């Protein structure tokens, strides 16, 4: 039964990841990302890490992706753009090289972590009770790492405010608005 759940979750995750990459609409990409995150949450439940599954759904699928959708809609980048125009010269070949390098590093780490092609694990360490892990995580986050948690909350707040400010586009071009205000001031001075 676990194998069937794993395979279904793997298909859901892979199809969602491919949807994120190949979707032309950014809002659809964000929704495919939700699909991927839900598939990962099912895998966490399968591994009996229920706290991580809940956090995956609540924080990432619930809050972060909704933040992405708000930014996408506020900035108006959900319109189709010309993909042939490259804003930064050479960014696509550099992205391919960096992506291949990161894939190679991850593959190397995975091969070393499982003891080579035989699949024998180098070290087996029990994780412990799930309730104990949740308690330890909570104590660490809100005692030793409270400054980091507060700083993260501040950064997310600044990001939302920045998205709102950037989305407030002037109705008229700024130069024309300044010229009109100068003209209005001159007519008021001349009428007195």
- Ordered by start, the domain boundaries in the chain are 1-81, 90-122, 131-192
d(CA 10, CA 18) in angstroms, rounded, equals 12
How much is the pTM? 0.51
Q: What are phi and psi of 170, to 5 degrees?
A: -65, 150
Q: Is 121 left (phi over 0), alpha (psi -120 to 50) or beta?
A: beta
For residues 101 and 98, give the distance between their C-alpha atoms in angstroms, rounded to a whole number.
5
DSSP3 helix / strand / coil % (the chain, rounded to 5): 80, 0, 20
Say what the pLDDT of residue 138 is.
Answer: 80
pLDDT for 63 equals: 83
Q: How far apart are CA 31 and CA 19, in angstroms?
A: 9
pLDDT value, residue 72: 76
**What integer pLDDT is reported at residue 100 of this predicted model?**
92
Overall fold of domain 1-81? 1.20.120
For the chain, which ranges sit under pLDDT 50?
none
pLDDT at position 168 is 64
In this prediction, residue 105 carries a pLDDT of: 87
């Amino acid at each position: 039964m676990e194998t069937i759940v794993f395979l279904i979750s793997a298909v859901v995750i892979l199809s969602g990841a491919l949807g994120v990459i190949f979707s032309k609409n950014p809002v659809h990409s964000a929704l495919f990302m939700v699909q991927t995150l839900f598939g990962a949450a099912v895998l966490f439940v399968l591994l009996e890490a229920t706290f991580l599954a809940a956090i995956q759904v609540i924080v990432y699928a619930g809050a972060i992706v909704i933040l992405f959708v708000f930014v996408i809609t506020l900035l108006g980048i959900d319109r189709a753009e010309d993909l042939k125009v490259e804003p930064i010269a050479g960014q696509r070949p550099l992205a391919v090289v960096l992506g291949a390098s990161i894939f190679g590093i991850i593959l190397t780490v995975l091969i070393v972590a499982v003891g080579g092609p035989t699949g024998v694990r180098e070290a087996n360490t029990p994780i412990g009770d799930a309730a104990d892990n949740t308690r330890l995580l909570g104590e660490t986050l809100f005692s030793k790492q409270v400054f980091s948690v507060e700083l993260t909350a501040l950064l997310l707040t600044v990001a939302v405010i920045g998205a709102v400010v950037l989305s407030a586009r002037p109705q008229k071009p700024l130069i024309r608005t300044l010229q009109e205000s100068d003209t209005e001031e001159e007519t008021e001075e001349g009428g007195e």
